[in-house]
Amino acid sequence: MTTILLSSVFGPYGVDDAYGRKENIMELFHNQVTREQGIFSLRINHPSFGLHLLAENIEAGAKVLDFPSQKRFIKEIKKNYDYVGISFITPNFLKAKRMAELVRKHAPNSKIILGGHGTRIPEIREQIDCDHVCTGEGVYWLRELFGEKVDRPINHPKMGASVSHRIMGVPRPAESAVLIPGVGCPNACRFCATSHFFDRKYTPYLHTGDEIFALCQEIEAHTGLTEFFVMDENFLKYRERAERLLELMERAGKQYRFGIFSSAETIQSVGVPFMARLGVHFLWMGIEGKEEIYEKNKDVDFVALIETLRDAGISVLASGILFSEHHTKDSIEEEIDYMVSLNADFVQFMELGPLPRTALYDAHRKNGSLREDIPYEEWHGQHKIWFDHDHFERDQTPAILKGAFERDFQVNGPSLFRLFETVVRGARNAANFPQAYDARRQQLVRQCKDYRPILRWFKRFAPTPSMRQQAVELDRQYTELLGPESWLDRTKSFAIWPLVMKLALADKAGRTVFQPPTLETRYRLRESGLSWRNIATFSFAGVRQVSPATTG
Ligand code: B12
Ligand code: SF4
């Protein structure tokens, strides 16, 4: 049988070394959303979903190696796989290059395949010694390379969407499973790496509501999880699919919940009540900027929309772009104020970044403003821009970006407070909704109960008087909904104290970068006494144990 090792790039991440930069943290929230929120920052690692999707959908024996060290990677490649697949994004170019060198040195018979967004770097074949490059969608591409039947149905991974999820240092079990209905987006906003990478079109893996519903049931049976992190650029855009999913859920009395990405035009078109019924509890929305330069945001009142979403118990991540070409020293301040004024649960600020082969990149390259002399490790959008801006020097951008995150924190308080508020708000308001919402209301109430023990530490650690006031008010709202704290709540609350304290001390000492654990998952691969059955999915400290075969 053909064998393949599918690996993410090696760590450590988020440190200044020969291969990376300290700003490049392997976490979504702490990297680019709650990064200036100290101990209130949400800390989550996500496994490399794409690699698991590939491994599930080929016939070859495969191993997915996530977050290895160089040493661990070398140990693994010495097993002489037929192929070694390396997945990388642009800022990890040097890591991918180093890994390819290691394969040539330690496993000269293995063929090297490069995949992921980094492959759009110009002349990548000349820059990294390799045998094959997949410059877009990977499942169908890999099946073709291996001479397999390309259009057979997709076998979706059944795995948790996160590892090492912590709130204020307190580990939480994996709350959601990953669901990948498709990749790409036809909107082709000029800066958008994903849309361009997948050739400005949507490639579905799950075509119908029936398929998605059946998969949700299967994942639930396999992992016990009923919440899904939906990796799809614009899940609700394919309305018929979503409507059918809701129909089937309601018919079967299933209360699944979904965290999704969606553009404003789509949200307006399906409406917030539909989303609430479907069980959307988290929404990532690209606001991009105050000025309406993107078609998807035409005529949208974001303040009102976000208020309505939060009233329905849907927490919102609003994403904004800084250092757009039209930004001046004054207008960028207005932009930041605008993003802060939206009062979303979470705000992402990202620097405008011309990433390879986007329309934005091509335009800057053409007019000579792209700074191709800046190493790719610094093309990540959380420090200095890598193009010449008419109104900003590169050295000025980190402080402005940091200031934006700080302003959001100071004005709106910790995102965790906002999230907890949205949940209690949703639970309260759902009481006014028709009966169809009752089960949703109960879910939100359960979530409030689950969150409650941590409220004490919100009050204790709130860094400013206004945040303390915010925490006290939150506590009041929870008491109003749930009644007075029980002895069990208090016991739980005091039980987590050492963990919160440990985090606070680490934060004070500046130890804020956490490395994800190395994870390996075997698929159809006979090794260490394990046999041909599919043994994917995660087990990890604090994560529901789904299979004994994955080692962390
Ligand atoms: C989850 C995610 C993360 C996770 C990564 C977790 C992990 N284990 O690696 C976190 C949150 C940590 C993260 C961090 C960052 N990310 Co990120 N991330 C994503 C996100 C949202 C989803 C990726 C995903 O799972 N997609 C679904 C799967 C199915 O698609 P896929 O991974 O692309 O894989 C498919 C193909 O690419 C291909 N493929 C991929 N690998 C391979 C390998 C082989 C061998 C083959 C054949 C094929 C193949 O096949 C797959 C199936 O079609 C994407 C945006 C997006 N919507 O895709 C951004 C994205 C990949 N991230 C990006 C960036 C820039 C970053 C950061 C630098 C932060 C930032 N400034 O945005 C940091 C870097 C962290 C680091 N130290 O490396 C960019 C990459 C842009 C580029 N051109 O390089 C993206 C596209 C977002 C964007 N800005 O547009 N990220
Ligand atoms: S709508 Fe979102 S995912 Fe689609 S192209 Fe625009 S930014 Fe990208």
- Which residue's alpha carbon is at the smallest distance from atom 26 of ligand 1? 50
Which tokens is 202 given?
């949507």
Gap from CA of 233 to ligand 2 centroid (Å): 7
**pLDDT, average across residues 207-221:** 97
279's torsion region: left (phi>0), alpha (psi -120 to 50) or beta?
Answer: left
Count of C-beta atoms within a 10 Å radius of residue 221:
9
Q: Which ligand is nearest to the CA of 233?
A: 2
Measured from the CB, is residue 26 less than 6 Å from ligand 1?
yes
- Specify the CATH class of 176-412 in words: alpha beta
Closest CA to 207 of 198, 199, 215: 215
67's torsion region: left (phi>0), alpha (psi -120 to 50) or beta?
Answer: left
- Give the sign of the dihedral formed by CA 222, CA 226, CA 230, CA 234: positive
Measured from the CB, is residue 187 less than 6 Å from ligand 2?
yes
Q: Tens digits of per-residue pLDDT, 421-457?
A: 999 999 998 877 666 567 888 999 999 999 999 999 9
Strand-strand pairing, 111-115 and 83-87: parallel
Q: Which ligand is nearest to the CA of 358?
A: 1
Q: Tens digits of per-residue pLDDT, 81-136?
A: 999 999 999 999 999 999 999 999 999 999 999 999 999 999 999 999 999 999 99
User: In this prediction, what percent of the chain has a pLDDT beyond 90?
Assistant: 88
pLDDT of residue 85: 98
Residue 289 has pLDDT above 90, yes or no: no
Give the separation between CA 191 and CA 386, rounded to whole angstroms. 14
Helix (H, G, I), strand (E, B) or coil at 133: strand
CATH number belonging to domain 3-155+518-523: 3.40.50
Tokens 């029980």 sit at which residue? 486
Q: Where are the domains of the chain?
A: 3-155+518-523, 176-412, 424-508
Query: For residue 396, what pLDDT band results from cuts at 50, 70 and 90?
Result: very high
pLDDT of residue 527: 65
Measured from the CB, is residue 341 less than 6 Å from ligand 2?
no
- Give the sign of the dihedral formed by CA 419, CA 31, CA 347, CA 188: negative
Tokens 């016990």 sit at which residue? 224
pLDDT of residue 544: 30
Helix (H, G, I), strand (E, B) or coil at 445: helix
Q: Between the CA of residue 69 and those of 95, 99, 317, 348, what are the distances in Å?
A: 11, 11, 32, 29
Contact call for residues 415 and 33 (beta carbons, < 8 A): yes
For the chain, the distance separating the N- and C-terminal CA atoms, rounded to the nearest angstrom, is 26
Average pLDDT, the chain: 92
**pLDDT, average across residues 485-499:** 96
Measured from the CB, is residue 52 less than 6 Å from ligand 1?
no
Instruction: Specify which residues 61 forms β-bridges with.
Output: 3
E strand intervals along 247-300: 257-261, 280-288
Helix (H, G, I), strand (E, B) or coil at 383: coil
pLDDT of residue 434: 66
Residue 500 has pLDDT above 80, yes or no: yes
Gap from CA of 47 to ligand 1 centroid (Å): 10
Contact call for residues 107 and 84 (beta carbons, < 8 A): yes
pLDDT of residue 238: 93
Gap from CA of 181 to ligand 2 centroid (Å): 16
* Substitution candidate for ligand 2 out of 183, 185, 357 with most atoms within 8 A of CB: 185
**pLDDT, average across residues 273-289:** 93
**pLDDT, average across residues 399-423:** 98
Gap from CA of 198 to ligand 2 centroid (Å): 11
Atom of ligand 1 nearest to the CA of 120: 83
Query: What order do you get walking across the sheet with 111-115 strand by strand?
Result: 132-133, 111-115, 83-87, 3-7, 61-66, 519-523
**pLDDT, average across residues 300-309:** 94
pLDDT of residue 542: 29
- What string of DSSP letters covers 157-207? ---BS-EEEEETTEEE----EEE--EE--TT--TT-HHHHHTTTS-EESS-
pLDDT of residue 511: 94
- Which residue's alpha carbon is at the smallest distance from atom 6 of ligand 2? 189
Query: For residue 328, what pLDDT band results from cuts at 50, 70 and 90?
Result: very high
pLDDT of residue 535: 40
Per-range mean pLDDT, top range of 89-98, 281-290, 536-545: 89-98
Gap from CA of 81 to ligand 2 centroid (Å): 37
**pLDDT, average across residues 291-301:** 78
* Substitution candidate for ligand 1 out of 67, 117, 228 with most atoms within 8 A of CB: 117
Q: Tens digits of per-residue pLDDT, 143-170?
A: 999 999 999 999 999 999 998 899 999 9
Instruction: Specify which residues 284 forms β-bridges with.
Output: 261, 317
Closest CA to 157 of 182, 179, 181: 179
Measured from the CB, is residue 46 less than 6 Å from ligand 1?
yes
pTM for this entry: 0.94
- What string of DSSP letters covers 96-109? HHHHHHHHHHH-TT
Contact call for residues 351 and 403 (beta carbons, < 8 A): no
Measured from the CB, is residue 135 less than 6 Å from ligand 1?
no
**pLDDT, average across residues 328-344:** 96
One-letter amino acid at 544 equals R
Least confident of 157-161, 494-498, 524-528: 524-528
Instruction: Specify which residues 523 forms β-bridges with.
Output: 62, 534
